[in-house]
Amino acid sequence: MRRASKWCATTCCAATTSPTSRPSGCASCRNNLSFPLRRPRHTMFRLSTSSAFHARRLAAVLLLAGGSAAGLRAQGVVVQGRVVDERQQPVPFVSVALPDGSRGTATNEVGEFRLRLATPAPEIVVFGVGYQRTTAPVPAGNQPLTVRLPTSVVALPEVRVSSQQHAAALVQRAYAKLLRHQADAYYGKGFYRQKTSQNQQYREFFDAFADIRFTPQKIDGWDLGEARFAYTPGGVDFTNFSAITRLLPLFQTATEPPGRVMLPLSPAGLKALTFKLESYLTEQGRELAVVSFAPPAGTPDAATGRLYIDPSTAALHRLALELPARSMFNVGETKGSGVSYEGATLRLTTDLVPVADSLTRLASKRAELDMHFMVREAFPEDVHVSSYFLVYQLTPKLPNQPYAAMSPQTNDLQQIRKRRYNPQFWRDNEIIRASPVEERVVRDFEGRKVFGRL
């Protein structure tokens, strides 16, 4: 069996604190992960390369907790089914909602959905970037339905105007619009799911409800409700991966200190990045311009990706980022560990939906992190972390909710340990339908008899 000493890694996520501050829990740690905000450091995950790191029969631990429950109760009507495209392929991560947008859900990785409602509804709408908005009647008797979601028409831009000039001007308009509305505040209920697999075996599973306050720039209030956290000791433990969802802003202003990584919607990004108009997506008379962005050669500390902008209103509908791992991660090898860090890739997609007149607001965030290690120069260890956050309901400002800002140092696991577990809640409420893989993961943890232990 391969053996090595314990490792730990930390994350830098920018709010206050000094760049020289160290996280607690590892006095000798030199490793860090930094977000493109400002520059403090806090522990995000720990990598243990003891023999348990490679063992495949690990003792499982599950922490389940309850709080305000984000106001959910078992609902009387369930609308469920699947969403497919023209080729009958499942469509993941698209919105399924009531026509007025008061309540909704999203499809899982295999296009399945389950929407719980207090009263029957005659129809639902299904929509997502790159697809035609589709209305589907709700069948009687809770029968499952299949919604066919056509893809948007893709058109290449005309050559009359320089695609770079036009793209840069469009991004400037979108950025200016976000700045004008940066103080707009929304309140709602969110659901967060996180999974970690190591060499294709799941090691962590985290579900959480939260009452949130958010602006066009970021989520600035997060009151944790019902939550559960299952994990197997050893390996890489992502105990506050939700910081990526909670703290990474959509854009940066001129009054904020520059971040470690250059974002497209920032003063520095607008000046340095190259923007290119790739195509137009057309559905029901509305166009979305797809604008790619990339840094010039020799600028490693910058994001690449795409912006999806309505050219008629300058409203942003999606921001897809690939963040530079070498700038965000510095997982140096601990002496004698026998483990070398080979690289990492972080992808973050933020989707926004129309609200009010020609505006958009946060709908969901999806993050994927791939990390690669080499043990004893011979054995690869691949770690994949994915998370999905959904604003499933807008609410008024709730009188008894503080909407407190969670600091970069907040540890998801420690927060859950403070709460009591309510098993009935998880039986009665499901915001995002578990995929077959997720159901198997949950059954696996149940088979180890750890659910409800606390």
Residue 3 pLDDT greater than 60, yes or no: no
Q: Are residues 172 and 41 part of one domain?
A: yes
CA–CA separation, 87 and 150 (whole Å):
9
- Give the mean model confidence (pLDDT) for residues 384-401: 94
Domain boundary among 110, 131, 153: 153
CATH code assigned at 107: 2.60.40.1120
- Tell me which of 127, 153, 179 is where a domain ends: 153
pTM score, whole prediction: 0.84
A 10 A CB-CB count for 282 gives 14
Q: Are residues 316 and 385 in the same domain?
A: yes
Q: How confident is the model at residue 390 (pLDDT cuts 50, 70, 90)?
A: very high
Provide the token pair at 52: 């348990």
Residue 454, domain member (yes or no): no
pLDDT of residue 125: 97
Question: Which structural domain, as residue segments, surrounds residue 386?
Answer: 9-68+166-447
Shared-domain flag, residues 58 and 81 = no
pLDDT tens-place string over residues 295-316: 998 887 899 999 999 999 999 9
31, 335 in Cβ contact below 8 A? no
Q: What is the structure's pLDDT at 272?
A: 95
Q: Taking 50 as the threshold, does the pLDDT of residue 7 lie above it?
A: no
- Strand partners for 105: 96
Q: What pLDDT sits at residue 329?
A: 55
Same domain flag for 57 and 75: no
Q: Which residues does 90 contact at the CB level (< 8 Å), separation at least 6?
A: 82, 83, 84, 107, 109, 110, 111, 112
Stronger pLDDT, 185 or 75, i.e. the higher one: 185
Residues 133 and 49 in one domain: no
129 and 270 housed in the same domain:
no
Distance CA 395, CA 140 (A): 28
Tell me, yes or no, whether 265 and 333 share the same domain: yes
Residue 2 within a domain? no
Q: Assess if residue 158 is contained within a domain.
A: no
Encoding tokens for residue 71? Answer: 């106001």
Based on the fold, state whether residues 64 and 90 are members of the same structural domain: no
User: Is pLDDT above 70 for 290?
Assistant: yes
Residues 100 and 236 in one domain: no
Same domain, 202 and 117: no
Handedness of CA 414, 417, 421, 427 (dihedral sign): positive
pLDDT for residue 453: 41
pLDDT (tens digit, 9 = 90+) per residue, 48-100?
544 334 433 333 444 545 445 444 555 578 999 999 999 999 999 999 999 99
Does residue 159 lie in a domain region?
no
What distance in Å separates the CA atoms of residue 23 and residue 11, rounded to the nearest whole number? 9
Is 452 among the domain residues?
A: no
279: tokens are 């195509």
Asked whether residue 62 falls in the same domain as residue 73, the answer is no
Closest by Cα among 220, 228, 219 to 67? 228
CA distances from residue 300 to 57, 113, 278, 321 in whole angstroms, order as listed: 40, 39, 23, 14
Number of structural domains in the chain: 2
* Residue among 390, 448, 451 at smallest CA distance from 208: 390
Alpha-carbon torsion (63, 64, 67, 71), positive or negative = positive
In a domain, residue 223? The reply is yes
Cβ atoms of 278 and 290 within 8 Å: the answer is: yes
pLDDT at 192 over 90: yes
Average pLDDT, integer, range 198-221: 92
pLDDT at 114 over 70: yes
**Distance set, CA 396 to CA 187, 188, 205, 399 (Å):** 6, 7, 30, 9
Q: Check whether residue 198 and residue 139 sit in a common domain.
A: no
Q: How confident is the prediction for the chain on average, in pLDDT?
A: 80
Torsions phi, psi of 380, nearest 5?
-75, 145
Identify the domain boundary among 124, 153, 182.
153
Least confident range from 21-25, 33-37, 109-113, 340-344: namely 21-25
Q: What pLDDT was estimated at residue 76?
A: 74
Q: According to the 3-state scheme, what is the secondary structure of the chain?
A: CCCCCECCEEEECCCCCCCCCCCCCCCCCCCEEECCCCCCEEEEEEEECCHHHHCCCCCCEEEEEECCHHHCCCCCEEEEEEEECCCCCECCCCEEECCCCCCEEECCCCCEEEEEECCCCCEEEEECCCECCEEEECCHHHCCEEEECCECEEECCCCCCCHHHHHHHHHHHHHHHHHHCCCCCEEEEEEEEEEEEECCEEEEEEEEEEEEEECCCCEEEEEEEEEEEEECCCEEEECCCCHHHHHCCCCCCCCCCCCCCECCCCHHHHHHCEEEEEEEEEECCEEEEEEEEECCCCCCCECEEEEEEECCCCEEEEEEEEECHHHHEECCCCCCCCEEEEEEEEEEEEEEEEECCCEEEEEEEEEEEEEEEEECCCEEEEEEEEEEEEEEEEECCCCCCCCCCCCCCCCHHHHHHCCECCHHHHHHCCCCCCCHHHHHHHHHHHHCCCCCCC
Q: What is the pLDDT of residue 345?
A: 87
> Is residue 211 in some structural domain?
yes
Mean per-residue pLDDT for 324-342?
A: 64
Residue 32 confidence (pLDDT) above 50: no
Would 1 be classed as within a structural domain?
A: no
